[in-house]
Structure 1
Amino acid sequence: MEKLLRFPIVLLFLSSFFLLQNVTAFKNQDGSEEWGYVQVRPKAHMFWWRYKSPYRVEDSSKPWPIILWLQGGPGASGIGIGNFEEVGPLDTSLKPRNSTWLLKGDLLFVDNPVGTGYSFVEDEKLFVKTDVEAATDLTTLLIKLFNKDENLQKSPLYIVAESYGGKFAVTLGLSALKAIEDKKLKLTLGGVALGDSWISPEDFVLSWGPLLKDVSRLDDNGLEKSNSIAQRIKKQLEDGKFNDATDSWGELENEISISSNNVDFYNFLVDAGSGSDISAMAVGLLKERSRKRYSKYLTSLRTRSSSPGGDDALGTLLNGVIKKKLKIIPENVTWGGQSNEVFTYLEADFMKPRIDEVDQLLAKGVNVTIYNGQVDLICATKGTEAWVRKLKWEGLKSFLGKDRTPLYCGSNKSTKGFFKSYKNLQFYWILGAGHFVPNDQPCVSLQMIASIIQSPAT
């Protein structure tokens, strides 16, 4: 792992940044890391960072996989959060992470959509307005990275998403498949994994009140208020009033915060900002993405932790030593954990479901994995199970009828989770984890990802 700590850079392809070619790529000295920008549309630049695993096993019967990590938000930075807070080789102190997913495969992080993290646009009109537009940009990035690299083409690509990233993942999965069928994209799609994913906003908001009442975080009065707003959201979605539904979502989160005395939406067992560093960071994400449009609902949020990209450790790291290491980030681009602009431009799509896209992936034979943290609230297991039951996939009845298998990890034989599978649909219930499953339960998460990507590593 020590070689991953090296910072010297060899510039393999150098162009004036302001005259960007379609792909600008750089590698570190030993070639274990590669990063750069892809111009996915004129004046729209997407930043990517790939790590090659030092644990690669060459096995012709089981090719070495690569994981594309998609963060949520929308507008949250995978380069920062997923990489340094969850599954990348180094933590925010630049110390090796013992549970890095590099143990099982290569990693590709992308700041998606454009305008997120290090990615940027030269004209605000270039922000994406739909999940499908975001998927189109991501497909362009994959074409630019994979089509000219035969070594990359040998590795099956697994799209692994968290939170809103799940909506990007299923739309990208379909877009990538289409590009592969049209012979525009040279890669093998290994599967799609949806971690605590915002696939059906209606089912999640309807789950919040009953779940919090069951765990004594809401009383009858709080439940009544929450359910009332949730039912309004349901009606707005039925009527196609998606912007209004997004407004009501902000109102509902505020009402739940007040009635529960600031429950953490990323771990309902604790108060907001009182848990781990990543939990405090998540509160900042919620605050930042909501601040502009939903300021009238944020009284209860203003006392919470500082937001990423500001004066917190992650923002300091990404705007300091990491930006200096990468060398190609424009001076006028400041990394932020959550882009308000990205969220605002996607507000009409924010509350739209993507259950149909999951159905389409399953029907096409794509391996789809769903995993959920037990104590997550924002994308609660209760809501995830509700939208899964709405699938029209022909194997659903058989899947629901299957018994779960308990999961263990390491020498501790206590139950760490449960697993169920039928044909190309898998579901993992991860106990003791909130919204950020790899951070909360690293051991069983590593075991899980090895199974999902069929890693040849032991």
Structure 2
Amino acid sequence: MAKLLVLHLCFVLIASSSLFHVGTSITHKSQDGSEEWGYVQVRPKAHMFWWLYRSPSRVDVGSKPWPTILWLQGGPGGSGTGFGNFLEIGPLNSNLKPRNSTWLKKADLLFVDNPVGTGYSYVESGGEFAKGDVETAIDMTTLLVEVSNDTVGLRNAPLYIFAESYGGKFAVTLALSLLRAIQAGNLTLNLGGVALGNSWMSPEDYTSSWGPLLKDLSRIDDKTLQESNSLALKIKQQIKNTLYENATLSWNDLEGLIFSNSNHVDFYNFMLDFEMDSLAATTTKNSVESNRIDSLEVRKNSPYLSLNVYKPGATGDLEALMNGPIKQKLTIIPLNVTWGGQSDLVFQFFTGDFMKPRIKEVDELLAKGVNVTVYSGQVDLICSTKGTHAWINKLEWEGLKAFISKERTTLFCGNEKHTKGFTKSHKNLHFYWILGAGHFVPVDQPCVTLNMVDAITQSPTS
């Protein structure tokens, strides 16, 4: 466990830091105006990086302006400008080739390296990292106040917050913070809704689901199931007693138990071994989604560790891409800021929040009339559909009983006739079951996911 918590930091010093004050920003635009990026100093010596892509498919029809999607990566410590952008939904893949399934077809895309210390975001020597979800939401609100003032379109366009994994906890706390800022008159923004993709909303329910699910799949035996259930019960009790840091330690022990006794099941896709999943190996190497099951042991034999020069066509070269060609393109990244260089410390500051549930925040958003969409990849383990059903059933929202009784609609894609998923809705709660997808739903099932994005954002067409 010491490997999880004993982390190292090399603080960043830049000569220009004295030019900043809180809430100010530096921005840069591409020559054609299709991209804009910059830094906002959200707190003294704490700098957050953002990157906006404007859609070439943009259509504004009367009272339906073109939407913007804010993508929040998980971890905590996963970089949206890297992982979400180049591995999942952005215009280019990690070989800098066009992605056919980019979400730019349906909306403008705003990626933020969140919390501070993630990706290109950084803290100077003497600065402070965010200590949990609420502080992160305040930082993000500061950023959006600044960006919406300076960036044409954000103030009028509906903003949809899409999140993956731990990003779901960021999304609901941010949405509530934005609503407070809007009500106070500090922010002009139209919050269109929140979408929680395979999101770590209730650690108790997810960890309790792992053992029974894997036993039914013949991935673990009765002995491991018994040990797994015992650890899950311990986690449940620790969460009940608000011993969240202890619960984080127990979570790590449980993942290690399952990983060792399942012959390395992939926590992002229980149909695979970890070694079979190139995306999982890449993201674990860079600390995204914090699937840290004895991570040093998993990573020491990984071919990705030797990649320090960007080579188009290679696998797992995202870190070299971000610290090479992309950093050169952006021009404003300080020379001594390494992409992802502070992400391990980000996670350390979240050990007290990591196992906290955020179900009450979902209830509050639903009660306020905010559209909440939950989507779940069928073969994800770490944020399993079984666990998602469990926490949704704990909602106190007045429409829950009617939602549960609703019939599902079958999802298809294009001319294909086989089932791609199911969906159902009641009032402002919507659920998507995406078949054949693991943790990274946009990667595993891009077509039906893009249709889902269209339904959520109601992107106007000409």
Q: TM-score interval w.r.t. the shorter chain?
A: over 0.9
User: How many angstroms apart in 2 are the aligned matches of 1:365 and 1:309?
Assistant: 47
Aligned to 2:11: none
Show structure 2 runs of 5+ residues with no match: 1-14, 310-315
**Cα gap change, 1:329/1:300 in structure 2, threshold over 3 Å: closer, same or farther?**
closer
Within a 5 Å distance, the mapping from 1:309-348 to structure 2 comes to 312-336=316-340, 339-348=343-352
* Per-residue deviation, 1:18: 5.5
Aligned to 2:146: 144
SS at match of 2:162: strand
Which range moves more in the overlay, 54-63 or 375-384? 54-63
SS at match of 2:279: helix
**Cα gap change, 1:150/1:339 in structure 2, threshold over 3 Å: closer, same or farther?**
closer
Alignment check: 8 A CA contact 1:157 1:189 kept: yes
User: How many angstroms apart in 2 are the aligned matches of 1:310 and 1:381?
Assistant: 36
User: How many angstroms apart in 1 are the aligned matches of 2:361 and 2:263?
Assistant: 37
Aligned to 2:135: 133
Q: Of 221, 224, 228, which aligns to 1:222?
A: 224
SS at match of 1:347: coil
Per-residue CA deviation, residues 137-168 of structure 1 (Å, 9 max, x unaligned), is: 00000000113445321210000000000000
* Per-residue deviation, 1:421: 0.3
Within a 5 Å distance, the mapping from 1:210-289 to structure 2 comes to 210-275=212-277, 277-285=278-286, 289=290
Alignment check: 8 A CA contact 1:39 1:46 kept: yes
Per-residue CA deviation, residues 300-320 of structure 1 (Å, 9 max, x unaligned), is: 664456469967410010000
Q: Does 1:431 find its partner at 2:435?
A: yes
**Cα gap change, 1:288/1:423 in structure 2, threshold over 3 Å: closer, same or farther?**
closer
User: How many angstroms apart in 2 are the aligned matches of 1:230 and 1:223?
Assistant: 10
Q: Does 1:354 find its partner at 2:361?
A: no
Within a 5 Å distance, the mapping from 1:369-388 to structure 2 comes to 369-388=373-392
User: How many angstroms apart in 1 are the aligned matches of 2:174 and 2:241?
Assistant: 27
**Cα gap change, 1:17/1:127 in structure 2, threshold over 3 Å: closer, same or farther?**
closer
* Per-residue deviation, 1:72: 0.2
Alignment check: 8 A CA contact 1:52 1:107 kept: yes
**Cα gap change, 1:271/1:286 in structure 2, threshold over 3 Å: closer, same or farther?**
farther
SS at match of 1:210: helix
SS at match of 1:387: helix
Q: Does 1:67 find its partner at 2:69?
A: yes
User: How many angstroms apart in 1 are the aligned matches of 2:62 and 2:139?
Assistant: 32
Aligned to 1:97: 99
* Per-residue deviation, 1:219: 1.0
Give the letter for the 1:44 counterpart: A
Q: Does 1:205 find its partner at 2:207?
A: yes
Per-residue CA deviation, residues 157-208 of structure 1 (Å, 9 max, x unaligned), is: 0000000000000000000000000010111000000000000000000000
Give the letter for the 2:279 counterpart: I
* Per-residue deviation, 1:236: 0.8
User: How many angstroms apart in 1 are the aligned matches of 2:123 and 2:330?
Assistant: 19
**Cα gap change, 1:202/1:124 in structure 2, threshold over 3 Å: closer, same or farther?**
farther
Q: Does 1:455 find its partner at 2:459?
A: yes
SS at match of 2:425: strand
**Cα gap change, 1:255/1:35 in structure 2, threshold over 3 Å: closer, same or farther?**
same
User: How many angstroms apart in 1 are the aligned matches of 2:125 and 2:105?
Assistant: 40
SS at match of 1:69: strand
SS at match of 2:63: coil
Aligned to 1:43: 45
**Cα gap change, 1:132/1:445 in structure 2, threshold over 3 Å: closer, same or farther?**
same
**Cα gap change, 1:289/1:220 in structure 2, threshold over 3 Å: closer, same or farther?**
same
Give the letter for the 1:340 counterpart: D
Alignment check: 8 A CA contact 2:76 2:347 kept: yes
Give the letter for the 1:388 counterpart: I
Alignment check: 8 A CA contact 1:77 1:117 kept: yes
User: How many angstroms apart in 2 are the aligned matches of 1:150 and 1:25?
Assistant: 13
**Cα gap change, 1:347/1:310 in structure 2, threshold over 3 Å: closer, same or farther?**
farther
User: How many angstroms apart in 1 are the aligned matches of 2:253 and 2:159?
Assistant: 39
Within a 5 Å distance, the mapping from 1:71-90 to structure 2 comes to 71-90=73-92
* Per-residue deviation, 1:123: 3.4
Within a 5 Å distance, the mapping from 1:187-206 to structure 2 comes to 187-206=189-208
Per-residue CA deviation, residues 78-124 of structure 1 (Å, 9 max, x unaligned), is: 00000000000000000000000000000000000000000001136
SS at match of 1:67: strand
Normalised TM-score (structure 1): 0.92
* Per-residue deviation, 1:337: 8.3
Within a 5 Å distance, the mapping from 1:15-30 to structure 2 comes to 16=16, 19-20=19-20, 22-30=24-32
Give the letter for the 1:29 counterpart: Q
* Per-residue deviation, 1:331: 1.0
Give the letter for the 2:109 counterpart: L
Per-residue CA deviation, residues 268-320 of structure 1 (Å, 9 max, x unaligned), is: 00000213x313223435699476xx86x864664456469967410010000
SS at match of 2:188: coil
Aligned to 1:184: 186
SS at match of 2:412: strand
SS at match of 2:160: strand
State the percentage of identical aligned residues.
61
SS at match of 1:325: helix
User: How many angstroms apart in 2 are the aligned matches of 1:334 and 1:304?
Assistant: 21
User: How many angstroms apart in 2 are the aligned matches of 1:173 and 1:308?
Assistant: 40
* Per-residue deviation, 1:457: 3.5
Show structure 1 runs of 5+ residues with no match: 1-14
Alignment check: 8 A CA contact 2:363 2:396 kept: yes
| Off by >3 Å, runs of 4+ in structure 1 | 15-18, 285-291, 297-312
Aligned to 2:4: none
User: How many angstroms apart in 2 are the aligned matches of 1:154 and 1:286?
Assistant: 35
SS at match of 2:29: strand
Alignment check: 8 A CA contact 2:45 2:126 kept: no
Alignment check: 8 A CA contact 2:75 2:289 kept: no
